[in-house]
Amino acid sequence: MFDYISISTLNDFIFCPYSIYLHNVYMGGDEELVHATPQTQGKAAHVAIDEKKYSSRKDEITSLSVYSNELGIIGKIDLYKCKEKVLIERKYQLNTIYQGQIYQLWAQYYCMTEMGYEIEKLAFYAISTNTTYPIDIPTEENKLELKNFILRFKHFDPTHPLQVNINKCTHCIYCNLCDKIDTENVYT
Ligand code: SF4
């Protein structure tokens, strides 16, 4: 059987592989207790999309489930504007665009193009500042980079010692629950 990897898990993996474990341990609990401020805001930002309330326009597709057989991934897009052929990922706040977020958008792009959608533009949209950040369409070299990253995910050895990066940890939503560090995150 072919196992598909969730695009959001890839994003978590690049941030910290251990966060995937914590996410799976605590996702069944009280989400209000687990979520730090940025995630709560981000989640609220996605509610309209997930409930398909964001747009009733016929030329906009929201919250579409997507997959790629070639890359072995599945996920959901935020917003695709059919006329402009633009795929948009909304975030509540975007001070920095991290590589994991770009991989996420590339992954969505490859899923959609494999499914037959035409995409000419990619962008992030920051709700808090009403700002659009255009992202280049990935090249063949970028695709190879994404494929190698997916391979790294598949071959990850969880017994390998974790490299803890305290800067990341203090911005990690699982910081207060994580047994790898003693500090609290910056959101408390
Ligand atoms: S607190 Fe640090 S080690 Fe723990 S899951 Fe978050 S980033 Fe990883």
pLDDT tens readout for residues 102-145? 999 999 999 999 999 999 999 999 999 999 999 999 999 999 99
Tokens of 81: 């504007």
Contacts 24+ apart (CB under 8 A), 145-151: 146/71, 146/103, 146/106, 146/107, 146/110, 147/71, 149/10, 149/14, 149/103, 150/5, 150/10, 150/71, 150/72, 150/73
- Per-residue pLDDT of 16-50, as tens digits, reads 999 888 888 876 555 544 455 555 555 555 555 55
Q: Are 7 and 73 in contact (CB under 8 A)?
A: yes
Q: Which atom of ligand 1 is nearest to the CA of 165?
A: 2
**pTM for this entry:** 0.81
> Mutation test of ligand 1: which of 168, 171, 187 has the most ligand atoms closer than 8 Å to its C-beta?
168
Q: Per the domain annotation, does 49 fall within a domain?
A: yes
CB distance 8 to 104 below 8 Å: yes
- Residue 32 maps to a domain: yes
CA–CA dist 8, 20 (Å, integer): 10
In a domain, 21, yes or no: yes
pLDDT at 70 > cutoff 70: yes
Cβ atoms of 166 and 181 within 8 Å: the answer is: yes
CATH code: domain of residue 45: 3.90.320.10
Closest-lying ligand 1 atom to the alpha carbon of residue 15: 7
Confidence tier at 186 by pLDDT (50, 70, 90)? low
Tell me how far the alpha carbon of residue 154 lies from the centroid of ligand 1, in angstroms.
20
What pLDDT is recorded for position 50? 55
Q: How far apart are the CA of 74 and the centre of ligand 1, in A?
A: 25
The larger pLDDT score, comparing residue 55 to residue 180, is at 180
Q: Which residues line ligand 1 (CB under 6 A)?
A: 16, 18-19, 22, 164, 168-169, 172, 174-175, 178, 180-181
Which among 71, 81, 173 is positioned nearest to 132, based on CA atoms? 81
- Please check whether residue 185 lies inside any domain of the structure: no
Q: What is the mean pLDDT of residues 168-188?
A: 79
pLDDT of residue 104: 95
| 184 belongs to a structural domain | no
- Would you state the torsion angle of the CA atoms of residues 55, 132, 130, 42, taken in this order, to the nearest 10 degrees? 70
Separation of CA 43 and ligand 1 centre (Å): 20
Q: How many domains does the chain contain in total?
A: 1
Residue nearest to atom 7 of ligand 1 (CA): 169
Distance between Cα 30 and ligand 1 center (Å): 19
pLDDT in tens, 150-172: 999 999 888 888 888 888 888 88
Domain that holds residue 109: 5-177
